[in-house]
Copies of this chain bind each other. A is one copy, B any other.
Amino acid sequence: MEIERIQVGALNSRAIIYNGILYMSGTVADDKLLPMKTQTEQILAKIDAVLAQAGTDKSRILSATVYLADISKKDEMNEAWKEWLAGDRPPARAAVEVTLTPNTLVEIMICAAI
Residues in chain A within 8 A of chain B (CB atoms): 1, 3, 5, 8-16, 18-21, 23-26, 60, 62-65, 67, 71, 74, 78, 81-82, 85, 89-101, 107, 109, 111, 113
Stoichiometry (number of copies) = 3
Across the interface, which residues of B come within 8 angstroms of A8, CB to CB? Answer: 89-90
Is B3 a contact of A92 with CB atoms below 8 Å?
A: no
Q: In chain B, what residue has the closest Cβ to A81?
A: B11
CA distance A100 to B96 in the complex (A): 6
How far is the CB of A97 from the nearest CB of chain B, in Å?
4
Return chain B residues, CB-CB under 8 Å to A63. Answer: 16, 23, 111
Partner of A92, one of B15, B71, B93: B15
What are the residues of chain B within 8 A of A109 when measuring CB–CB?
65, 92, 94
CA distance A113 to B74 in the complex (A): 30
Q: Decide if A92 touches B16 in the complex (CB within 8 Å).
A: yes
Contacts of A64 in B (CB 8 A): 12
Nearest neighbor of A71 in chain B, beta-carbon distance: B99
**Among A63, A91, A92, which residue has the most Cβ atoms of chain B within 10 A?**
A92
